[in-house]
């Protein structure tokens, strides 16, 4: 078991009692439900509970559940969980070694694998460290030393360009997949069915990942290593530019890590596992999190006066002049959220699609139809309609988080900048005055096909074959 990554249930057949446990951070999804007859149900999907349980909820990460005791007990209680401000000095080499160890640990595999490479800092570091350490592993002996990398985006998107450059630099066998806005819109219902959420930013990012995962699986690849978790640990989202002090920044990172199981972990797991593809996330290794979260958060503060951009602490740790991991301009590329990096017109297209399907009258009645987590945009309303068609139970609705957000912030962080309250959108471009391509006006595609199908549609995608070295 990879350092508490997996959840499990142990059954005692002598008396049918059991103990269930969920992994530390919530990398793998888990839910618990109770039947009318008093039975207890455990499932990795809401779909496994909604027909048989009177009530179900998220199984909290880092907890045990005992059928004999009838309650939860936390087994994962690291020092950072209390949100006390740490004071350990920043040691770049220690941080680098901790991450390399986390990646190496995830190279233990007996199946064909690759890395997801968007060309951003996090996925590029995952790929760079994997390339550097792959040769001496058992996986390399079985599948070859040539690492496969995968990227998805709209034609001409920022990620496709950056990923290709990184792949060329690292010498990976790179696979570039493109999709159109209409391809994504056609897949939305399938995405919501598999991810079991109506959260806007999760659906925006899950859709291209869902489309890419099918193509990756069709190549015979069964496991990918991905870069989720870094932004939460290091304060990488662009709204962290407005963090007023290190204390609030640290508390925000703690809250973001604690909520990962409802956002990026949910996306990374469900969008890939929908096609039988496993995603591994080295940034969420317990030992690495402990290392990174024990450092004085002053080093995570974004200080333009000192030349420190977001995640400067992580970037500096891998800024090796003698044996460079990455080109400088990639190592110091501005944060780009996945749903933005696949192409800016993707989000604009989703908004245009929602505009054509949700009327102003529907929005005016939203608070009566959806009293919990009331949709505040037409895009959110559109996703909510689809979600409740698949999962009408109140328990299912309550598993999805809500509240105001800008550029993926918590509700508390919205208070960091007064102008954000009028621009609540999870896109990184909503970080006005920070993102290099921040919103100024909407540039929407001239024609976006309207309407949603009544039943989930599976999108046929073709991908060239790939020979896995043996």
> Residue 5 has what pLDDT?
61
> Residue 442 has what pLDDT?
44
Asked whether the beta carbons of 377 and 198 are under 8 A apart, the reply is: no
Asked whether the beta carbons of 225 and 104 are under 8 A apart, the reply is: no
Tokens of 136: 């001496």
Averaged pLDDT, 346-366: 96
153: helix, strand or coil? strand
Sign (positive or negative) of CA dihedral 188, 193, 195, 200: positive
> Residue 56 has what pLDDT?
97
d(CA 281, CA 463): 25
397: helix, strand or coil? helix
**pLDDT tens track for 439-464:** 444 443 333 333 333 333 333 333 33
Tokens of 129: 């460290």
d(CA 457, CA 450): 15
**pLDDT tens track for 31-75:** 999 999 999 999 999 999 999 999 999 999 999 999 999 899 999
Asked whether the beta carbons of 20 and 261 are under 8 A apart, the reply is: no
Residue 188 phi/psi, 5° resolution? -55, -45
* pLDDT for 409 beyond 80: no
Tokens of 9: 């249930």
CATH dotted code for 80-344: 3.40.50.620
- What is the number of other CB atoms lying within 10 angstroms of the CB of residue 231? 24
Q: Considering the chain, what percentage of its residues have pLDDT values greater than 90? A: 78
> Residue 83 has what pLDDT?
97
Instruction: Tell me the average pLDDT of the chain.
Output: 88
* pLDDT for 80 beyond 80: yes
> Residue 398 has what pLDDT?
97
d(CA 451, CA 460): 19
d(CA 102, CA 122): 13
d(CA 54, CA 34): 6
Location of structure tokens 């990096």: 341
Tokens of 337: 């959220």
Averaged pLDDT, 361-373: 97
Q: How wide is the angle at C-alpha 165 spanned by C-alphas 163 and 168, nearest 5°? A: 105
> Residue 410 has what pLDDT?
79
> Residue 448 has what pLDDT?
33
Tokens of 158: 């920022």
377: helix, strand or coil? coil
Asked if residue 200 belongs to a known ligand binding site, the reply is no
Please state, in angstroms and as integers, the Cα–Cα distance from residue 419 to each residue in 114, 351, 423, following that order.
Answer: 42, 21, 7
pLDDT band at 414 (very low <50, low <70, confident <90, very high): confident
Task: List the single range of 12-21, 175-184, 372-381, 434-443 with lowest mean pLDDT.
Answer: 434-443
DSSP collapsed to 3 states, 222-280 = CEEECCCCHHHHHCCCHHHHHCCCHHHHHHHHHHHHHCHHHCHHHHHHHHHHCCCCEEE
Orientation angle between helical segments 378-390 and 181-195, nearest 10 degrees: 50
Q: How wide is the angle at C-alpha 201 spanned by C-alphas 303 and 83, nearest 5°? A: 50
Asked if residue 395 belongs to a known ligand binding site, the reply is no
* pLDDT for 230 beyond 90: yes
d(CA 49, CA 31): 8
> Residue 325 has what pLDDT?
98
> Residue 6 has what pLDDT?
75
**pLDDT tens track for 101-154:** 999 999 999 999 999 999 999 999 999 999 999 998 999 999 999 999 999 999
Sketch the domain layout of the chain as residue ranges: 7-76, 80-344, 356-438
Asked if residue 341 belongs to a known ligand binding site, the reply is no
> Residue 452 has what pLDDT?
37
* pLDDT for 430 beyond 50: no
Residues in the chain: 470
In b/e form, how buried is each residue of 283-316, taking b as 16+ CB within 10 angstroms?
bbbbebbebbbebbbbbbbbeeeeebbbbbbbbb
Of 455 and 362, the one with more pLDDT:
362
Task: List the single range of 210-219, 337-346, 409-418 with lowest mean pLDDT.
Answer: 337-346
Asked whether the beta carbons of 443 and 345 are under 8 A apart, the reply is: yes
d(CA 161, CA 149): 14
In the chain, % helix, strand, coil (3-state, to 5) comes to 45, 10, 45
Of 334 and 295, the one with more pLDDT:
295
Averaged pLDDT, 308-312: 96
pLDDT band at 418 (very low <50, low <70, confident <90, very high): confident
> Residue 334 has what pLDDT?
79
CB proximity list for 278: less than 8 A, separation 6 or greater: 222, 223, 224, 272
* pLDDT for 469 beyond 80: no
Give start and end residues of each alpha helix (H) in 301-440.
Answer: 312-317, 328-331, 338-341, 344-357, 360-364, 366-369, 378-390, 394-398
Asked if residue 227 belongs to a known ligand binding site, the reply is yes
Task: List the single range of 102-111, 253-262, 415-424, 436-445 with lowest mean pLDDT.
Answer: 436-445
d(CA 209, CA 279): 11
d(CA 183, CA 163): 21
Asked whether the beta carbons of 66 and 280 are under 8 A apart, the reply is: no
């Amino acid at each position: 078991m990879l350092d508490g990554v997996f959840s499990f249930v142990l059954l005692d057949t002598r008396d049918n009692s059991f103990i269930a446990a969920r992994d530390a951070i919530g990398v793998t999804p888990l839910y618990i439900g109770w039947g009318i007859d008093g039975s207890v149900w455990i499932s990795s999907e809401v779909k496994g509970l909604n027909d048989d349980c009177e009530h179900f909820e998220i199984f909290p990460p880092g907890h045990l559940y005992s059928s004999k005791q009838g309650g939860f007990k936390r087994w994962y209680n690291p020092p950072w969980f209390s949100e006390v401000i740490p004071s350990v000095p920043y040691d770049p080499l220690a941080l680098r070694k901790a991450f390399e160890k986390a990646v190496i640990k995830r190279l233990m595999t007996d199946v064909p694998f690759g890395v997801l490479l968007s060309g951003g800092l996090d996925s590029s570091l995952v790929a760079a460290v994997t390339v550097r350490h792959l040769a001496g592993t058992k996986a390399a002996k079985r599948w070859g030393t040539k690492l496969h990398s995968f990227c998805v985006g709209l034609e001409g998107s920022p990620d496709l360009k950056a990923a290709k450059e990184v792949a060329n630099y690292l010498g990976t066998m790179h696979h570039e997949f493109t999709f159109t806005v209409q391809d994504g819109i056609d897949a939305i219902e399938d995405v919501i069915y598999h991810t079991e959420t109506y959260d806007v930013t999760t659906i925006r990012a899950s859709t291209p990942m869902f489309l890419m995962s099918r193509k990756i699986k069709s190549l015979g690849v069964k496991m990918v290593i991905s870069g989720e978790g870094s932004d939460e640990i290091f304060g990488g989202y662009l709204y962290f530019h407005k963090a007023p002090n290190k204390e609030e920044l640290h508390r925000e990172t703690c809250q973001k890590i604690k909520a990962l199981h409802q956002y990026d972990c949910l996306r990374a797991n469900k969008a890939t596992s929908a096609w039988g593809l496993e995603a591994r996330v080295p940034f969420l290794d317990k030992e690495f999190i402990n290392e990174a979260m024990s450092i004085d958060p002053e080093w995570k503060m974004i200080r333009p006066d000192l030349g420190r951009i977001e995640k400067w602490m992580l970037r500096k740790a891998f800024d090796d002049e003698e044996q460079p991991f990455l080109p400088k301009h990639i190592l110091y590329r501005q944060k780009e959220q996945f749903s933005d990096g696949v192409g800016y017109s993707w989000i604009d297209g989703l908004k245009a699609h929602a505009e054509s399907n949700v009327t102003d009258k529907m929005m005016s009645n939203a608070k009566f139809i959806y009293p919990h987590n009331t949709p505040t945009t037409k895009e959110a309303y559109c996703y909510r309609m689809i979600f409740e068609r698949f999962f009408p139970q109140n328990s299912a609705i309550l598993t999805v988080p809500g509240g105001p957000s800008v550029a993926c912030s918590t509700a508390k962080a919205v208070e960091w900048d007064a102008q954000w309250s009028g621009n609540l959108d999870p896109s990184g471009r909503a970080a006005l005055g920070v993102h290099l391509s921040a919103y100024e006006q909407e540039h929407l595609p001239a024609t976006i096909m309207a309407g949603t199908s009544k039943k989930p549609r599976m999108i046929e995608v073709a991908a060239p074959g790939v020979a896995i070295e043996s």
